[in-house]
Amino acid sequence: MIEFLQFSAEQLPELLKGVPVTLSLWIIAIVLGFFLGLALAWARVYGNRFWYALSTAYIELFRGTPMLVQMFFIYLGLPQLGIVFDAFTSAVIAITLNSAAYQAEYFRGSVLSVPQGQLVAARACGMTQWQAIRYVVLPQALRRVLPQWSNEAIIELKFTSIAYTIGVVEITARASDIGSRTLEFFQIFLLAGVIYLVLTSSVASFLGWVERRYYVPGVTHV
Amino acid sequence: MADTPVLRADAIHKRYADNEVLKGISLTLARGETKVLIGPSGSGKSTFLRCLNHLTKPDRGTIELDGVEISDANIDRMRARIGFVFQDFNLFSHLSVLDNVSICPIRVKRQARDEAIRRAREELERVGLGDKADAYPAELSGGQQQRVSIARALAMDPTLMLFDEPTSALDPELTGEVVKVMQRLADDGMTMLVVSHEMGFARQAADEIVFMEGGHIVEQGPPETLFSQPAQDRTRAFLNVIAEHG
Amino acid sequence: MNIYDVILRDFPFLLKGLGIAVILLAALLALGFVIGLTICLLQLYGPRTRFVQWPLKAYERVFRGVPIIIMLFIFYYGLAGVFDISSFAAAILALGFRSGAYQSQIFRSAFQSVPAGQMTAARAHGMSLAQAIRWILFPQAIRHAIGPWTNEFSSEIKETSLAYVIGVVELTRQAHYIITSTQGNTLTVFAVVALLYFIVNKAGNSGLYWLEARLAVPGFEKRQ
């Protein structure tokens, strides 16, 4: 135990350098995934047959295949077509595309759970379809979706570690490097695990706070 | 043995935090006797009934079934001999009607499967639901569900049957079929303790009416005297309310 | 040699990798099932003391809060130092223990969605706690659990690909071998691999939907 603490104290600064990379990868990807997810959900709920089919196929494809394969496809496969991204960008793209598919399904569920009468009532007071969705349906749907969305965001935070496999120098890659140098693989990955645990717990508490902050009686449960 | 009561409850006490629900209830039931517990809501009737088979654990007091005291050690065996009918039926939702009636004999009494099934069919005939053996609870009306739950209790060969407001979750037009089954049970000599406001049943089937209020037994006696000449003002007041609304 | 010939030639290797992935999946789900059910039963019906409940809570927190890759490395390097253990066994343990933390939550909400009266009625007719759980609660809970469990199945088939990082020769690593040995068409190889995962996932889901429909009795129809 003491040995582990000593080792941790020595290696922690080096390992922590990976945290900003992990976090920026995560934040960029879930924010982009949020907008893409909204668009996909929109296509599935309000779109015509073409947009519905396209969005459904996209969601099925990205939910049905591993993110690791998606990342390899983008980073190792696309250059063959002359499309070259650096490792970080490839990882952002893969996590964004993957996360969007999941976020879309949660958005769709929550939009559908807003009672139909809300949209009708909004149209009845003269709002356009777009206004009704923007000012009435969406604010309710986003509140309802928050708990599931938080879960999804945390899952993606953990999935950023997959970027290590294509050489993005985030926490896991740093841990692996330190492991190769010191040959203390077990200890360094244990320490990396602790860092991830702190990150995921902090994010969970923060999103829990957001949920309570935007709580509206009757729309959301706390 | 002949004069050992089937049930003897002695000085049952139960309190929830500051609320003393049962303040020393004693009651006996002789073999073949039917007693009906009445009283305003919150008087402790249901709690008392649940204390009798330890679904709610009494704080103090003793309960004997055929002269044997109920304890933590023998509770499952004792419960197997006490039929219990719930207000909201509580049929096992994943089992067909036939399996609902046979599962406890098979699992608890280790009865042979064929024997338990044969017996279950008999009990279903007895409550008039022989043709519903393969239905699931969700497919039955409330009255039918309650009759199945009576059959489920009977299939265990109970020494004593407890009924906890068996008709109060039913629409008025469905109470009749359940009351009829209970009435016939009483006539057949089953020992029964019933919490109910079905005055028709109480008048016809009960050997004795027990009126409870505020955690005490206020008064008890045969239906003819208790209903026509109650000794206590509180009993009279309660009966008036029932007569107006029930 | 054109890429389709390569894929045709190396397809047996991909299938072998797929076989390893499926065995890994079955083993980790089985392990997770046992762990998840045990945790759930201890949480709902076990001793309420903090001595028992706190470690269960901590177990869930840790296994749900740490990325799979990190867990795979921890198990691989942690156990390899003590036992003579293959990367395959390490992957089963890491993924199975982790799945247990997720399955415990699936089972917990399934058991909680069985109305309290079912337990009361079972106990009132003389069933012991264990009998009531076995014969009354479990059969109902499993019907509630099968939908969410299908999602867990889908997550895990994809997560078997991560066993790649500790050297398990499953589908993704076989794909890598083929690519390095042929310096060939990565795009097509990964597309084929993605398709294989997709098919197994769909097949598994259909099987579970079929099971759900078969187990459905009136009152337990699929909701929504």
Residue B61: per-residue pLDDT: 95
Task: Evaluate whether residue B179 is within a structural domain.
Answer: yes
Please report, for the domain that includes residue B207, its CATH number: 3.40.50.300
Q: How far lies B100's CA from each of A167, A213, B3, B136, in Å? A: 61, 48, 35, 9
A211 Cα distance to chain centroid: 17
Q: Which of A208-212, B195-199, C116-120 has the highest mean pLDDT?
A: C116-120
What residues in B contact C118, CB-CB < 8 Å? 90, 92-93
Task: Say yes or no to pLDDT of C179 above 90.
Answer: no
Buried b / exposed e over B40-53, threshold 16 CB at 10 Å, is eeebbbbbbbbbbb
CA distance, residue C130 to nearest chain B CA (Å): 11
Task: Evaluate whether residue C82 is within a structural domain.
Answer: yes
pLDDT in tens, B14-42: 999 889 999 999 999 999 999 999 999 88
Q: What span, in angstroms and rounded, lies between the C-alpha atoms of C36 and C105? A: 8
Domain count, chain C: 1
Task: Evaluate whether residue B94 is within a structural domain.
Answer: yes
CA distance, residue C120 to nearest chain A CA (Å): 29
Task: Evaluate whether residue C224 is within a structural domain.
Answer: no
- Could you tell me the pLDDT band of residue B1, with boundaries at 50, 70 and 90? very low
Domain count, chain B: 1
**What CATH number does domain A20-170 carry, 3.50.50.60, 3.30.70.1560, 1.10.3720.10, 1.10.274.10?**
1.10.3720.10
Contact A158 C66 (CB under 8 A): yes
A61, A158, A190 member nearest C67 (Cβ): A158
Q: Secondary structure of A43-66 in the HEC alphabet? A: HHHHCCHHHHHHHHHHHHHHHHCC
- Could you tell me the pLDDT band of residue A199, with boundaries at 50, 70 and 90? very high
pLDDT in tens, B71-125: 999 999 999 999 999 999 999 999 999 999 999 999 999 999 999 999 999 999 9
Task: Evaluate whether residue B1 is within a structural domain.
Answer: no
Residue C187: per-residue pLDDT: 83
Q: What does the mean pLDDT of chain A come to?
A: 92
Q: What are phi and psi of B195, to 5 degrees?
A: -95, 115
3-class DSSP assignment, residue C205: helix
Least CA distance to C139: which residue of chain B?
Answer: B94
Please report, for the domain that includes residue C197, its CATH number: 1.10.3720.10
For chain A, list the contacting chains (3+ Cβ pairs, <8 Å).
C
Tokens of B190: 């089953």
Mean pLDDT calculated for residue range A112-135: 88
- Where is A166: in which H helix or E strand? none
Contact A162 C158 (CB under 8 A): no
Contact by Cβ (8 Å): B108, B156? yes
Task: Say yes or no to pLDDT of A113 above 70.
Answer: yes
Task: Evaluate whether residue C76 is within a structural domain.
Answer: yes
pLDDT in tens, C109-146: 999 999 999 999 999 999 999 999 999 999 999 999 99
Q: What span, in angstroms and rounded, lies between the C-alpha atoms of C201 and B146? A: 45
Residues 28-87 of B with CB under 8 A from C: 53, 55, 76-84, 86
ipTM field: 0.88
Mean pLDDT calculated for residue range B137-142: 95
Task: Evaluate whether residue C33 is within a structural domain.
Answer: yes
Domain of B167 in residue numbering reads as: 7-245
pLDDT in tens, C180-214: 776 667 888 888 899 999 999 999 999 999 999 99
Contact C202 A64 (CB under 8 A): yes
- Could you tell me the pLDDT band of residue C219, with boundaries at 50, 70 and 90? confident
Task: Evaluate whether residue B21 is within a structural domain.
Answer: yes
> 């955690």: which residue's tokens?
B215
What residues in C contact B138, CB-CB < 8 Å? 217-219
